[in-house]
Amino acid sequence: MPPKSGHHRAKNVGYDDDDMYGEEEDYYEEEGGEGDGMTEEDKEQMAAATLQVKEALFGDLRLTDKEIQEALWHYYYDVEKSVIYLKNKHTPKEPAQPKQSQKPVSRFDQAAGAADTGAPTGKHSLHDIQSTTLCAALSLNRVDVPYPEPLLAPLSMESLSTKTSNFFWDTPWGGIDRNRMGVIMEPTRLRGGLLGGSKLAALAAKRKQKQQEQASNGDGTSNADKAVALLDRLSVKGDRSAPAVAEAPKPSVRYQRKKSPSPKPEPEPEEDPEPEPVKPLIEFPDLRAEPSTFAATLCSDDPAQKRKMVTFASFDVPYSTQSKFRMSNPWDGPSPDDVVQEAQKRGAGRTPKAKKTPKKTNGEALAESVEKLSFVDDTPKVKSKNLNVEQEYAQSGLKRMLNFVVIGHVDHGKSTLMGRLLYNMKVIDQRSVDKLRKEAENLGKSSFALAWVMDQTSEERSRGVTVDIATNNFETEKTRFTILDAPGHRDFIPNMIAGASQADFAVLVIDASTNSFESGLKGQTKEHALLVRSMGVQRIIVAVNKMDTVAWSPQRFNEISSQMTEFLVSASFSPKQITFVPVAGLTGGNVTSHTEDPEATWYTGPTLVAALDASEPAKRPIDKPLRLTIADVFRGSIINPVSISGRIDAGNVQVGDVVLAMPSNQRATIKAIESETGEPGDWAVAGQIPVLHLQGIDPVHLRLGDILCDPTQPVRLVRSFTAKILAFEHVLPSTVDVFRGRLQAVGRIVKLSAVLNKSTAEVVRKRPRIVKPGEVARVVVELERELPLEVGVRVVFREGGKTVAAGLLEG
Ligand SMILES: Nc1nc2c(ncn2[C@@H]2O[C@H](COP(=O)(O)OP(=O)(O)OP(=O)(O)O)[C@@H](O)[C@H]2O)c(=O)[nH]1
């Protein structure tokens, strides 16, 4: 007998036979000692219990002590249970009742009965469906698995024929096509595991077989009890004290152990715990839908089944059901591309037939006509008056016209001086000057008020420097002047060059205040002077400015004059063409009238305006072919969509003339002409800077620096040229930026031909390796792109932000 400790433990929990077997086996091996294993206490307890059982039987049964003790051992000295057991076992049995249904039916028998008959006994319920469906879904086998109580609710015959789809007949998706319903395939072979091929299943099968044999032998009375006992063993027992009226002694393999001396109970039928898997005993109603193609393909081992399902569930794509689709061969006939190409071939050479235009709505017609209107150039053709412009100019009695460029180092007072000039010449009124002064004061730049007469952009005003050429006009009694105010900052030298290229003469402004003149010499004072000379400017007026800051010192004035004369003469200016005027642009001294400052009485020379007026204009090549350098392009005006302004270098123009823009090589007609002062006119001549309103040309073909020329004698586009240059820096064969007015291109000095005499232009030295600053030389230049250049035009070479040389194109 096992010791008590193991006894209690085994009774507290109901285990599966498999579990108990292994567990107990280990246990006995540990305990396996000699003798019956009963302690003295056990023996006493057994003897007392045996007496009690005998008393309880009252001699009803003649039983040996061994039989009684066997029962007591089995029921752990429980006298009551042992008595019941013994009575049941040894009381003669009555013949089996023919109506088993009248007997209390255990739950196991309910399930077993269902398996036997294949017919459920109760009503169809949701649980039925769920249980059977669940079983099918999980185990994929039909086995006699003990179900939880709710799942064993009786099934009706009706449910047998019930399909899963019928159950969902009232759901929104109940009418789904059969071939679109999900299917679970039953595997073709049994799987192992608890629900498929466990010992439990085998045991149940064996028991069922035994029951059938007993029933056939007429011994079916204890089937139900045994079934219940089996069920009880399969569930956890929470209450051992509950009466077990029909409970049979629990069959246990432990008593069959070799070493156990205890009396052996009756041999149980479950001798063979590992029977072969047998056919499932419970046949559940077949609620499965047909497997889907996917499931059949994936799960089924049966190729025939797979084929069947594929055939069953395959369906045509929608449009393939149309006979037209089925019958047609997409490769019949030519491809769409072939059709198009064939049609194009046939249509080649034929005049296209007028398309049948669909009838338009009023709105569409209106929109179309408006669109047409916008593209129709309704500008009337400009007719030329065929004037003799040279004769017109001679007879016009116009004042002579002079353009001058204002140059000098940054902040030496150029714009202020010009502002004062314009103010004194009544070009701008006091109100305008007051307004500018106020604005300048607000920005803390009150001293710049007069400069703002010329510097009109916000950038120029906020930075206090001139950026681009500013133009303005004024007149004296005999001359109409155009001012070209150039920026003094070295960053804007290309703009200064553009201004210088339009000028007849130059006004060089020098700050007379201490150190400013000297610093200017190192800066742009000399560079500007050299540049304008190189651009063909011969006359120069030097305005020694800010004389108020040096108390109109004649010494300072003379000092500056002498130094600058020396330099300018060295730069090829004729002394006769150089004029010095002491001025104060801010206060207006000597600008248009002599200053009243007593310290300035020593100066008796001309005022600035007088010096300007004393200038002689260069000879105007009015009779030459037209050459106009574009200085500005305007677009967007409704009346005049495209306009340009620029100096006429040579020739003349009149309204109705056709001009050629180079290098774009586009023609345009002159629609109207305005003078520098905005007065309309019929013609303009060389030396003037008119505004020309053009038609018949897109503004994209017009850029700053381009040339408008006579279409019959156009300017040449060149890639290589020879020039006579004045060197400002050492000149070597190298890459340079070539400027022609505002036109610019990258070029390379490929050859130093000769160093020339400055006055006579005779060759001094052939093929020099280098040209020194101040020397005049002949060089050959090649350009990266074509520029409109011809003999006599001025070019400037710059390198690394510095002007290295400037000169005249020779060929
Ligand atoms: N005292 C005094 N200051 C002057 C005179 N002329 C100009 N200034 C001042 O000099 C500063 C520069 O004057 P601007 O006219 O802007 O000089 P700028 O040469 O035109 O300068 P950029 O165009 O940028 O090269 C301003 O503050 C002027 O008020 C002058 O005659 N006397």
What is residue 253's predicted lDDT score, i.e. its pLDDT? 38
Return the top range by mean pLDDT from 14-18, 443-447, 754-758: 754-758
Please give the distance, rounded to the nearest whole angstrom, from the Cα atom of residue 480 to the centre of ligand 1. 25
499 with 604, same domain: the answer is yes
Q: pLDDT per residue over 188-203, tens digit each?
A: 444 444 444 455 666 6
Percent of the chain with pLDDT over 90: 16
Average pLDDT over residues 95-121: 47
Contact 707, 500 (CB under 8 A): no
Nearest CA residue ID for atom 7, ligand 1: 413
Atom of ligand 1 nearest to the CA of 460: 24
Q: pLDDT per residue over 480-524, tens digit each?
A: 898 888 776 766 677 777 677 778 899 999 999 988 888 888 778
Nearest CA residue ID for atom 29, ligand 1: 447
Check whether 748 has a pLDDT greater than 90.
Answer: yes
Average pLDDT over residues 214-218: 61
747 within domain boundaries:
yes
Check whether 23 has a pLDDT greater than 50.
Answer: no
74 within domain boundaries:
no
231 within domain boundaries:
no
Atom of ligand 1 nearest to the CA of 451: 15
Average pLDDT over residues 439-468: 69
583 with 643, same domain: the answer is no
Please give the distance, rounded to the nearest whole angstrom, from the Cα atom of residue 439 to the centre of ligand 1. 17
Residue 778 Ramachandran class (φ > 0 left, ψ -120 to 50 alpha, else beta): beta
Q: What CA–CA distance (Å, rounded) separates 647 from 401? A: 12
Please give the distance, rounded to the nearest whole angstrom, from the Cα atom of residue 597 to the centre of ligand 1. 20
Which pLDDT band holds residue 468 (cuts at 50, 70, 90)?
A: low
724 with 770, same domain: the answer is yes
Give helix 199-216 / helix 223-234 axis angle, nearest 10°. Answer: 170
Percent of the chain with pLDDT over 70: 60
Is 444 or 238 the better-scoring residue by pLDDT? 444
516 with 546, same domain: the answer is yes
Q: Which uninterrupted H or E stretch holds 50?
A: helix 40-57
Atom of ligand 1 nearest to the CA of 412: 19
Please give the distance, rounded to the nearest whole angstrom, from the Cα atom of residue 419 to the centre of ligand 1. 10
The values of phi and psi at residue 642, to 5°, are -130, 125
Q: pLDDT per residue over 605-660, tens digit each?
A: 999 999 999 988 777 788 889 999 888 888 767 777 889 988 898 999 999 999 99
Name every residue whose Cβ is closer than 8 Å to that of residue 596 and which is 6 or more positions away in sequence.
none
284 within domain boundaries:
no
Name every residue whose Cβ is closer than 8 Å to that of residue 616 and which is 6 or more positions away in sequence.
539
CA proximity to 89, closest of 227, 224, 221, 238: 221
Please give the distance, rounded to the nearest whole angstrom, from the Cα atom of residue 545 to the centre of ligand 1. 9
552 with 507, same domain: the answer is yes
Q: Complex ipTM, two decimals?
A: 0.97
405 with 543, same domain: the answer is yes
Ligand 1 pocket mutation, candidates 416, 437, 581, criterion most atoms within 8 A of CB: 416
Check whether 51 has a pLDDT greater than 50.
Answer: yes
Which region among 92-106, 413-427, 637-651, 744-758 has the lowest average model confidence (pLDDT)? 92-106
Nearest CA residue ID for atom 32, ligand 1: 546
DSSP state of 637: -
Please give the distance, rounded to the nearest whole angstrom, from the Cα atom of residue 412 to the centre of ligand 1. 5
Q: pLDDT per residue over 417-440, tens digit each?
A: 998 999 899 888 888 888 888 887
288 within domain boundaries:
no
> DSSP states of 58-84 as a string?
TTSS---HHHHHHHHHHTTT-HHHHHH
Name every residue whose Cβ is closer than 8 Å to that of residue 786 and which is 6 or more positions away in sequence.
663, 717, 718, 719
457 with 587, same domain: the answer is yes
What is residue 632's predicted lDDT score, i.e. its pLDDT? 83
Q: What CA–CA distance (Å, rounded) separates 416 from 293? A: 96
Please give the distance, rounded to the nearest whole angstrom, from the Cα atom of residue 586 to the centre of ligand 1. 8
Check whether 683 has a pLDDT greater than 50.
Answer: yes
Contact 106, 166 (CB under 8 A): no
474 with 530, same domain: the answer is yes
Please give the distance, rounded to the nearest whole angstrom, from the Cα atom of residue 408 to the centre of ligand 1. 11
Q: What CA–CA distance (Å, rounded) separates 626 from 120? A: 118
Q: What CA–CA distance (Å, rounded) separates 173 from 170? A: 8
Contact 794, 725 (CB under 8 A): no
Quickly count helices (H) and strands (E) in the chain: 25, 22
DSSP state of 550: G
483 with 602, same domain: the answer is yes
217 within domain boundaries:
no
Q: pLDDT per residue over 283-307, tens digit each?
A: 666 666 776 777 776 666 666 665 6
What is residue 252's predicted lDDT score, i.e. its pLDDT? 38
Check whether 671 has a pLDDT greater than 80.
Answer: yes
Chain CA centroid to CA 322, Å: 45
Ligand 1, CB within 6 Å, residue ranges:
408, 410-416, 447-448, 451, 465-466, 487-489, 545-546, 548-549, 584-586
Ligand 1 pocket mutation, candidates 417, 422, 447, 550, criterion most atoms within 8 A of CB: 447
Name every residue whose Cβ is closer than 8 Å to that of residue 543 and which is 6 or more positions away in sequence.
417, 507, 508, 509, 510, 581, 583, 585, 608
- Beta strands 743-756 and 683-685 are unpaired
Check whether 166 has a pLDDT greater than 60.
Answer: no
Which pLDDT band holds residue 241 (cuts at 50, 70, 90)?
A: very low
Which pLDDT band holds residue 153 (cuts at 50, 70, 90)?
A: very low
Contact 19, 42 (CB under 8 A): no
What is residue 301's predicted lDDT score, i.e. its pLDDT? 64
Contact 807, 795 (CB under 8 A): yes
What is residue 458's predicted lDDT score, i.e. its pLDDT? 62
Domain with residue 632: its CATH number is 2.40.30.10
Q: pLDDT per residue over 402-414, tens digit each?
A: 888 888 888 898 8
Cα(first)–Cα(last) distance of the chain, in Å?
Answer: 136
Return the top range by mean pLDDT from 147-151, 470-474, 550-554, 634-638: 550-554
Q: What CA–CA distance (Å, rounded) separates 778 from 725? A: 6
Give me the sign of the Cα torsion angle 621, 623, 627, 631: positive
Is 119 or 563 the better-scoring residue by pLDDT? 563
Check whether 149 has a pLDDT greater than 90.
Answer: no
Check whether 73 has a pLDDT greater than 50.
Answer: yes
Check whether 259 has a pLDDT greater than 60.
Answer: no
What is residue 459's predicted lDDT score, i.e. its pLDDT? 62
Please give the distance, rounded to the nearest whole angstrom, from the Cα atom of residue 411 to the centre of ligand 1. 5
Atom of ligand 1 nearest to the CA of 549: 1
Give helix 199-216 / helix 107-117 axis angle, nearest 10°. Answer: 80
Is 102 or 804 the better-scoring residue by pLDDT? 804
Average pLDDT over residues 537-550: 93
559 with 636, same domain: the answer is no
What is residue 589's predicted lDDT score, i.e. its pLDDT? 92
Residue type, 444: G
Atom of ligand 1 nearest to the CA of 488: 25
What is residue 273's predicted lDDT score, i.e. its pLDDT? 54
Nearest CA residue ID for atom 12, ligand 1: 411
Please give the distance, rounded to the nearest whole angstrom, from the Cα atom of residue 640 to the centre of ligand 1. 38
Q: What CA–CA distance (Å, rounded) separates 589 from 594? A: 6
As to burial, measured by CB atoms within 10 angstroms (0-12 exposed, 13-18 middle, 19+ buried), residue 445 is middle
The 10 Å Cβ neighbour count of residue 563 is 14
Q: Which uninterrupted H or E stretch holds 241?
A: none
Prior bond of 663 cis (ω within 30°):
yes
Q: pLDDT per residue over 686-733, tens digit each?
A: 888 889 999 888 888 898 888 999 999 998 888 999 998 888 888 999
Ligand 1 pocket mutation, candidates 586, 597, 608, criterion most atoms within 8 A of CB: 586
The values of phi and psi at residue 599, to 5°, are -75, -10
478 within domain boundaries:
yes
Is 556 or 410 the better-scoring residue by pLDDT? 556
What is residue 56's predicted lDDT score, i.e. its pLDDT? 82
Of the candidates 677, 709, 741, which is a domain's last residue?
A: 709
Atom of ligand 1 nearest to the CA of 584: 31
547 with 426, same domain: the answer is yes
Average pLDDT over residues 131-143: 37
DSSP state of 771: B
Residue 44's alpha-carbon distances to 41, 48, 261, 573, in angstroms, are: 5, 6, 17, 152
Of the candidates 709, 737, 756, which is a domain's last residue?
A: 709
Nearest CA residue ID for atom 9, ligand 1: 413
Secondary structure of 4-44 in HEC code, one letter for each residue: HHHHHHHHHCCCCHHHHHHHHHHHHHHHCCCCCCCCHHHHH
Domain with residue 576: its CATH number is 3.40.50.300
Hey, what are 747's tokens? 């070029």
Please give the distance, rounded to the nearest whole angstrom, from the Cα atom of residue 546 to the centre of ligand 1. 8
Of the candidates 686, 709, 732, which is a domain's last residue?
A: 709
Q: Where are the beta strands (DSSP E) in 514-641?
A: 539-545, 578-582, 627-635
Average pLDDT over residues 135-158: 38
Average pLDDT over residues 390-407: 84
Can you give the residue range of the structural domain that contains 511?
399-614
What is residue 310's predicted lDDT score, i.e. its pLDDT? 55
Which region among 120-129, 197-206, 616-625, 675-684 has the lowest average model confidence (pLDDT)? 120-129
468 with 558, same domain: the answer is yes
Average pLDDT over residues 54-82: 83
Give helix 79-90 / helix 65-74 axis angle, nearest 10°. Answer: 120
Tell me what the pLDDT averaged over the chain comes to: 72
Check whether 354 has a pLDDT greater than 80.
Answer: no
CA proximity to 639, closest of 380, 369, 375: 380
What is residue 317's predicted lDDT score, i.e. its pLDDT? 54
Q: What CA–CA distance (Å, rounded) separates 666 from 674? A: 22
Instruction: Write down the pTM of the prediction.
Output: 0.49
Atom of ligand 1 nearest to the CA of 485: 23
The total domain count for the chain is: 3
What is residue 780's predicted lDDT score, i.e. its pLDDT? 94
